[in-house]
């Protein structure tokens, strides 16, 4: 075989790959019409960590033990034992709430339930599942092989593997709707929402939550408003003076959008949330993968060429065996 033939084989594979790419390229997934989630308002959060405690209770997770004492609210980072956490931001003297300079603020971290979830896209065995109705991202340990690609691919470092157990599993917030808990399906609220005393963390559909977030961003700082407890539109409310919001809803568009969204008195990066492009990493990854493997056309074409040359050249090899 000469070089030209060889280039033909290589070229045909590449050609099919490029041709199929235009067909298969995909953009971000659209939010589901009934997607549910949470809105966390950092300015209303008083850092009581009732949500951290309640989360552990609902999800049957052990508390942190330090100095031989059970410290129910002392988890410092999300882990295989902690699916929800309140962290603090502090700067300078730390006197003024919601102020980036010489101030402090709280941030709640848990699964963001991405609209176009990376963990769901990368899992080889479909053990990360996005519910087709609610959009809640849940996990199936019976399918999981423990490769931890979901951990590596989550922009928020949410899924956690239990490294200290012989038969560890992946743990993550499933919005209290996993098998055996199913609070959302039963019409209840997630545990962390139920116990929040100030309405800093509320449940609702993604659409409702976005509208509520926009209402808050439009408030006049210093004036008193009603903030619903537990759910958007709830009759139970908390009266408070509106803070000076940073005019951005984290999760409206970040990484293709999330179903858990955050508003705060300062930039989200100060609170440890990443800066993400609008295009989801999942869509980038899948576009490349399907450009190459769409319909398996390119591999099939390449294999056909390889078979042809391998057969021809091994035949030649047999005949010439005496001379080599």
Q: Restricting to residues 74-133, name those near another protein by CB under 8 A.
A: 77-80, 118, 121-127
Residue 297 binds another protein (CB under 8 A): no
- Give residues 247-266 in contact with another protein (rule: CB under 8 A): 255
Shortest CB 130 distance to another protein, Å: 12
Site string for another protein, 19-48 (x = CB under 8 A): ------------------------------
Q: How far apart are the first and last CA of the chain?
A: 18
Q: 223 or 321, CB closer to another protein?
A: 321
Q: Are 116 and 255 in contact (CB under 8 A)?
A: yes
Instruction: Using CB atoms within 10 Å of the CB of residue 169, give its burial: 0 to 12 exposed, 13 to 18 middle, 19+ buried.
Output: middle
Interface residue with another protein, options 60, 67, 318, 319 (CB under 8 A) = 318
- Among the listed ranges 95-103, 183-191, 242-250, 303-311, the one in contact with another protein (CB under 8 A) is 303-311
Residue 65 binds another protein (CB under 8 A): no
Q: 67 or 318, CB closer to another protein?
A: 318
Shortest CB 285 distance to another protein, Å: 4
Size of the site for another protein (CB under 8 A): 77
DSSP-derived pairing of the beta strands 69-71 and 237-241: unpaired
Closest to 228 (Cα-Cα) out of 213, 244, 248:
213
Q: 228 or 299, CB closer to another protein?
A: 299
Residue 232 binds another protein (CB under 8 A): no
- Among the listed ranges 52-60, 98-106, 161-169, 237-245, the one in contact with another protein (CB under 8 A) is 161-169
Residue 319 binds another protein (CB under 8 A): no
Q: 70 or 304, CB closer to another protein?
A: 304
Shortest CB 248 distance to another protein, Å: 18
Residue 274 binds another protein (CB under 8 A): yes
Residue 149 binds another protein (CB under 8 A): yes
Residue 162 binds another protein (CB under 8 A): yes
Q: 61 or 144, CB closer to another protein?
A: 144
Q: 195 or 273, CB closer to another protein?
A: 273
């Amino acid at each position: 075989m000469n070089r030209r033939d060889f280039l033909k084989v290589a070229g045909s594979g590449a050609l099919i790959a490029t041709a199929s790419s235009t067909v298969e390229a995909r953009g971000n997934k659209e939010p589901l019409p009934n997607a549910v989630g949470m809105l966390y308002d950092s300015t209303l959060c008083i850092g009581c960590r009732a949500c951290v405690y309640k989360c552990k209770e609902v999800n049957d997770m052990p508390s942190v033990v330090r100095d031989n004492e059970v410290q129910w609210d002392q988890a410092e980072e999300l882990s295989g034992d902690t699916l929800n956490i309140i962290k603090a931001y502090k700067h300078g003297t730390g006197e003024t709430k919601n102020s980036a300079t010489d101030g402090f603020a709280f941030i709640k971290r848990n699964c963001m339930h991405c609209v176009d979830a990376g963990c769901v896209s990368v899992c080889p065995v479909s053990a990360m599942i996005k519910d087709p109705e609610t959009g809640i991202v849940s996990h199936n340990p019976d399918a999981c092989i423990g490769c931890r690609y979901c951990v590596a691919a989550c922009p928020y470092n949410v899924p956690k593997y239990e490294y200290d157990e012989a038969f560890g599993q992946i743990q993550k917030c499933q919005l209290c709707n996993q098998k055996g808990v199913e609070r959302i399906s039963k019409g209840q609220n997630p545990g962390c929402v139920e116990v929040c005393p100030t309405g800093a963390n509320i449940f609702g559909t993604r659409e409702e939550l976005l509208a509520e977030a926009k209402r808050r961003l439009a408030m006049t700082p210093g004036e008193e408003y009603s903030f619903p407890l537990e759910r958007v539109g709830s009759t139970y409310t908390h009266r408070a003076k509106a803070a000076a919001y940073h005019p951005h809803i984290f999760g409206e568009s970040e990484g293709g959008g999330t179903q858990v969204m955050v508003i705060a008195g300062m930039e989200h990066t100060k609170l440890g949330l990443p800066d993400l492009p609008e295009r989801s990493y999942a869509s980038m990854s899948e576009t490349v993968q399907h450009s190459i493997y769409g319909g398996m056309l390119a591999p099939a074409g390449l294999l056909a060429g390889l078979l042809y040359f391998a057969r021809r050249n091994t035949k030649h090899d047999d005949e010439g065996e005496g001379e080599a």
